[in-house]
């Protein structure tokens, strides 16, 4: 199967533009057998028109049966093999709070936890302390001093926080201190390879000091760390695909993942109108825009079928503003499925439509999972959407003569 190097070699210059519009968790399920999914239930005349003029299909993130997190879901849509290009847990946590990771940063996901007098963990989440309490305790942890290291401690939500150690020579390969279960003490932090020795020593020292500083703060009287990771050095999306690229998103996580692959980012306000206004503002300066809508996923996670369908309908009403930008290629899809019936991300393939002037028409007139099954794009891997978009944008030349 084609890899990024091959795609890159086949690029040919063009002035065409590609719009990737992502409704997070778009794919759904019926709530009763034989019923419609959220997307099928929604009244979407504008998306249906794009589907009928273009082609539709389903894409499979990561692999059959695999439920992707937000990171791999988007990495796949961006054309990267989500198994080969994995984002470390610490880095993902940093992206989620909009922490601007640098090249000398080592990031970890932290939990406040409860330990008993012998040091054994009795609650890995410290009774899910309120976020406000988390903030206070992070202030306390910030007082820890590590030699020649800049330390950042950022609250996330409830018991969760982020730590970042900034110094030269901090390599990946530091083990987790979180054993993943109660009843035993936190694990010793060790270097899994020699290059990580310096980082492991500093993290051990952080953990030891945190233990002392938190001793009187039960239930949050200890920390657990995991997923110590650096910013990955991946091929950059704008270079690989030859596209000046921007991500327009309301939440830090999605701008963060886009930034990880080298896209510019534009922060948008909370409404669809504000999202579109930001897109319209940046659009003239880019060849590729990734636009992210979060509310579909949120409604799915809440188990609210009706609300998810309504969000889709609301997005549909904004489609004329998308087409008014005159993109040469429009893809509308999700990063994964979040069926309200499951109240969570799921492994189900994700419906997509691809609109361009060079689509071979299938006979599908509506946008929805069951119709996508009959679509001209078949069942694709998520990472195949980018090469398809480039082809339809006239940005790829022939392979071999």
Closer residue to a second copy, CB minimum distance, 65 or 194: 65
**CB 184, min distance to a second copy, A:** 19
Q: Which residues contact 136 (CB under 8 A, 6 or more apart)?
A: none
What is the closest distance, in whole angstroms, from the C-beta atom of residue 107 to a second copy in the complex? Answer: 13
In the complex, the smallest distance separating the C-beta of residue 167 from a second copy, rounded to whole angstroms, is: 25
> What DSSP line would sit under 94-150, residue for residue?
HHHTT----TTEEEEEEEEEEE-TTSBEEETTTTT--HHHHHHHHHHHTT---TT-E
What does the alpha-carbon distance between residue 269 and residue 249 come to, in Å, rounded to a whole number? 8
Residues that bind a second copy (CB under 8 A): 1-2, 6-7, 10, 27-30, 33-35, 37, 53, 58, 62-73, 82-83, 86-87, 89, 92-93, 339, 341-342, 345-349, 358, 360-363, 369-370, 373-376, 378-380, 384, 386-392, 396-401
Instruction: Tell me the closest approach of the beta carbon of residue 168 to a second copy, in angstroms.
Output: 28
Nearest approach in angstroms of CB 362 to a second copy is 6
Contact (Cβ atoms closer than 8 angstroms) between residue 182 and residue 123: yes
| Nearer residue to a second copy within complex by CB, 118 or 363 | 363
Which CB sits closer to a second copy, 1 or 117? 1
168 versus 398: smaller Cβ distance to a second copy: 398
Nearer to a second copy, 44 or 380 (CB): 380
Q: How far is the CB of 347 from a second copy (least distance, A)?
A: 4
Q: 205: buried, middle or exposed (CB in 10 Å: 19+, 13-18, 0-12)?
A: middle
Output 55 or 141, the one with its CB closest to a second copy.
Answer: 55
Q: With respect to a second copy, which residue has the nearer C-beta, 128 or 211?
A: 128
Write the CA distances from 305 to 31, 43, 77, integer angstroms.
8, 14, 25
- 357 contacts 46 by C-beta, under 8 angstroms: no
Contacts (Cβ under 8 Å, ≥6 apart) of 187: 175, 176, 177, 178, 179
How far is the C-alpha of 263 from the C-alpha of 322, rounded, in Å?
20
For β-strands 350-355 and 55-60, DSSP reports them as antiparallel
Cis? peptide before 282, omega within 30° of 0: no
Phi/psi at 135 (5° precision): -60, -45
Q: Name the minimum Å distance from CB 356 to a second copy.
A: 11
């Amino acid at each position: 199967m084609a890899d990024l190097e091959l795609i890159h070699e086949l690029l040919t210059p063009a002035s065409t533009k590609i719009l990737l519009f992502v409704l997070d968790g778009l794919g759904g399920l019926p709530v009763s057998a034989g019923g419609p999914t959220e997307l099928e239930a929604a009244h979407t005349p504008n998306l249906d028109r794009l589907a009928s003029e273009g082609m539709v299909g389903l894409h499979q993130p990561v692999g059959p049966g695999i439920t992707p997190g937000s990171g791999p879901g988007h990495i796949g849509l961006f054309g990267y093999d989500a198994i080969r290009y994995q984002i470390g847990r610490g880095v993902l946590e940093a992206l989620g709070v909009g922490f601007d990771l640098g090249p000398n940063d080592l990031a970890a996901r932290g939990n406040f936890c409860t330990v008993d007098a012998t040091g054994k963990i009795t609650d890995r989440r410290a009774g899910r302390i309120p976020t406000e309490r988390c903030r206070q305790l992070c202030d306390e942890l910030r007082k820890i001093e590590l030699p020649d290291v800049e330390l950042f401690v950022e609250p996330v939500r409830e018991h969760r926080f982020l730590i970042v150690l900034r110094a030269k020579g901090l390599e990946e390969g530091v083990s987790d201190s979180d054993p993943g279960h109660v009843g035993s003490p936190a694990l010793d932090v060790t270097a899994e390879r020699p290059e990580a020795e310096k980082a492991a020593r500093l993290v051990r020292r952080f953990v030891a000091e945190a233990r002392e500083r938190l001793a009187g703060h039960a239930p949050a009287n200890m920390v657990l760390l995991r997923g110590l990771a650096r910013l990955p050095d991946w091929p950059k999306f704008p270079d690989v695909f030859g596209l000046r690229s921007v991500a327009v998103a309301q939440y830090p996580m999605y701008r963060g993942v886009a930034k990880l692959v080298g896209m510019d980012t534009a922060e948008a306000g909370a409404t669809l109108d504000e999202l579109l206004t930001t897109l319209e503002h940046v659009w003239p300066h880019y060849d590729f825009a990734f636009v992210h809508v979060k509310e579909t996923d949120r409604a799915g996670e809440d188990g609210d079928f009706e609300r998810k369908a309504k969000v889709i309908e609301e997005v549909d009403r904004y489609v004329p503003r998308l087409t008014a930008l005159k993109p040469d290629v429009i893809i509308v899809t999700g990063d994964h499925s979040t069926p309200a019936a499951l109240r969570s991300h799921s492994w189900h393939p994700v419906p997509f439509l691809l609109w361009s002037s060079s689509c071979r028409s299938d006979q599908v007139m509506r946008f929805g999972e069951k119709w996508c099954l009959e679509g001209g794009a078949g069942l694709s891997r998520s990472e195949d959407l980018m090469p398809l978009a480039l082809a339809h944008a006239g940005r790829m030349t022939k392979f071999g003569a």
